[in-house]
Structures are given as C-alpha cells and as structure tokens.
Amino acid sequence: MKRGAGSLPAGPPPGTRGPLDAARAGREFDRQAAAGQTRGMDMPTLRWLDGPGGPAIALLDQTRLPAEEVVVTCRSVGELVAAIRRLVVRGAPVLGLAGAYGVALAAYQGQDVAAAAAALAGARPTAVNLAWGAHRALAAWRAASPDTGNRPPAGLPLAQRAAAAALAEARSIAAADAAASAAMAVHGLRLLPPGARVLTHCNTGRLVSAGEGTAFAVILAAHRAGQLAKLWVDETRPLLQGARLTAYEAQRAGIDYAVLPDAAAASLLASGEVDVVLTGADRIAADGSVANKVGTYGLAVLAQQHSVPFVVVAPLSTIDFSTPGSSGIVVEHRTAAEVTTLAGQAIAPPGSAAYNPAFDVTPGRLVTALVTERGVV
C-alpha cells in the first residue's frame, strides 16, 4: 500500500461542524430530550441527562435518519434495551457507551444493577463493546458499593456514591472512545494513498462513537487532508446503514461520495475504481477473525481477488481475546421482515421466509491491516 502525508489541520473545514456548532447543538439536544421525543438538529448520538430531565439517556434515533433528527429519551433500562434492539442506537463503540450509561441509570434508579447489566449485555450478541461497557460500569459500581450484593448500598450518600462511580466510568469510556477515534484517524490516514478512492460498508462515523467513529474517522481525516478523491458507500442491505447514515454523515462533511447497491461492489472493484476498502468491526476474535455488518466478508474476498487492500479500523475495546476464533462469535439473526419489506412496504410475497444474519465473519488472512488507537497491525 502506498503511504501518504499524515498531518491533520487544526480545525474542521467549511461545511463540517465546529465546536461552537456542537455546543449549541448539545444544548438544543438537551432541551429536546427533556421534552421527550421531539424533532431536532445536529445532535450527539448519545447523551446522559442530569437535572430536571434526568436521570435518563437521550439517543438520536438512527432509525429515522436521514429523513428526521429525532431524540428518543430512555428513562429506564427496559426502554434502553428496547432501543438497542430496535437499532435506535447502534454500532460497536456507542453500544459500549449505551451499556455503561445504562448501568449508571439502573444504579441511580435503585434497581438491581447486576440484572440491568446482564439485560443490557444480552440485548445484542455480536458487538462485544455492549457487554464490555456494561460490565465495566458494573465493576465500578461494585467497587464503590462493597458487601451489598447486587442492590445499592443502604443510605442515600452511599447509593449516590456508587451510582456516581458507574456514571464516572461511563464518562471515562466515552472520553477514551473519543481519543481512540482521533488516534485511529491519524494511524489510518498513513495507509491511504494521495487521491484515495475508498469503499466502505455500513456506518462507522459520529453516529457510532463519542468521537468521529472508526473507519469513517479515517475517511474524514483523509477528506480534511485533501487526500480523499472519492467515497464509495455500500447501501448496506437490509437496513441501509450505508445509504441512510454514512451518506448522511458524508454529505454533512462535504465529502464527494456515491451510494451503490451492495451487489455493485464486485464490478466496481473489478473496474479499478477502488484503492482501499475500509470497514469497522463489531468483534475481533483472538485469531484476527472480524465480525462486522453482513456483506463485509464478501467485500474482503472481492478485495483480495482484485488486489485491493482490505483495512479494518476498530478500537482495542472491540478485540475480544476471550473468543479464540470465528466459531466462538455469536452472529445475531434478525427478523424476516427486515428483508421482506422495504420502508414499510412488502417486497416479497406475504409469508416468505428470509435468511437475515446481521453480521458475517471475515477470516484474519483476508485483512490487510487492522488499525487501532495504538497503531497499525
């Protein structure tokens, strides 16, 4: 792979969102979240609500994008678990935040914190960050509430202190995720040639992260450095995370992008229009097998066939050393309706069966490079 220049300019270029916009948007997000499910603009993907609106977790509803920016406010772990299952919030790193903040929510509400962590961890099986985030916040809560089993310690100050410990852990996971995202962008950028034409799958940007995401953070860095010629966005059937979400993020950043049907990736790669394939990951096993959005494996095979580098960008929190290889990765299967309907309309005869794995597993031998916050493997 060719190597390009790697330094980032200090601020966002025209057309992208700067810190002032972000602060204003955050206030607007809080106002809307406190009011319930309301239309909004330019919002963070997940936010903890204190004060009169809280404790609660406010989510930018990813099922409604790009048509509408709507906040869903989860005031209980049950609501949060349902939102995770419905993909209101989705994508590996932010699922880690959802798991951790969900445990803090249970602690502030005096619920069974271990049961809440288990419910959150089991809401979706493949993205390891979800269980990892929930268990980290649970461990912080337990460390601050000794000898009380799974119930908050008696007495308000102690219970508050334990809940605050879980919340502090969630905030520290968020800060680390934002830093990891920035570091992955720097490391990943060095792998891209000047004038890179990048093909990506699913959605890996701000919507999945406390920072700018994983693979999309690298794409943004390349765009800012003037190093990105074209972004090819797989639509990502059946739920269209590419067409709906990556295109939404790319358009807001002023990136030159085009959406393609997943099935067109083969001929696009054959035509020599792609310099590198960049994806994220939901779980990376100890042997380097990469679970990611269904269709990723096919792209990796195609990339090898056409001698195009296939690069995975993921934080260390997505590497699961306790899972030795691909057979240990549980792949979530979702409902037939996601395949047999499109935007609420039936596209297959009523009663059609469907095969709908949400993820597939790419063997490590097909991965040219893995970019983490610590560097490139």
DSSP-assigned beta bridge partners for residue 70: 39
The position carrying tokens 């790009």 is 66
Per-residue interface string for the shown chain with ligand MRU, residues 215-234, x marking contact by CB under 6 A: --------------------
Per-residue interface string for the shown chain with ligand MRU, residues 350-369, x marking contact by CB under 6 A: --------x-----------
Q: Which of 234, 275, 282, 320 is catalytic?
A: 282
Q: How far apart are CA 68 and CA 61, in angstroms?
A: 9
Q: Max CA-CA distance within the chain?
A: 68
Kindly identify the residues of this chain, within the stretch 32-71, that bind ligand MRU according to CB under 6 A.
none
Stretch that binds ligand MRU, among 52-60, 68-76, 78-86, 208-216 (CB under 6 A): 208-216
Q: How many binding residues for ligand MRU (CB under 6 A)?
A: 18
Nearer to ligand MRU, 113 or 245 (CB): 245
Nearer to ligand MRU, 140 or 312 (CB): 312
Minimum CB separation from ligand MRU for residue 318, in Å? Answer: 7
Q: Are 168 and 130 in contact (CB under 8 A)?
A: no
DSSP secondary structure letter of residue 93: H
Nearer to ligand MRU, 87 or 178 (CB): 87
Minimum CB separation from ligand MRU for residue 186, in Å? Answer: 17
Per-residue interface string for the shown chain with ligand MRU, residues 120-139, x marking contact by CB under 6 A: -------x------------
Q: How far apart are CA 258 and CA 358, in angstroms?
A: 23
| Nearest residue to 203 via CA among 94, 108, 361 | 94
Residues sharing a CB contact under 8 Å with residue 139, sequence separation 6 or more, in sequence order: 169
Q: Are 205 and 217 in contact (CB under 8 A)?
A: yes
- 282 among known catalytic residues: yes
> Degrees (nearest 5) of the Cα angle 239, 305, 196?
70
Residues at the contact surface with ligand MRU, assessed by CB under 6 A: 87, 90-93, 127, 202, 204, 208, 213-214, 241, 280-282, 292-293, 358
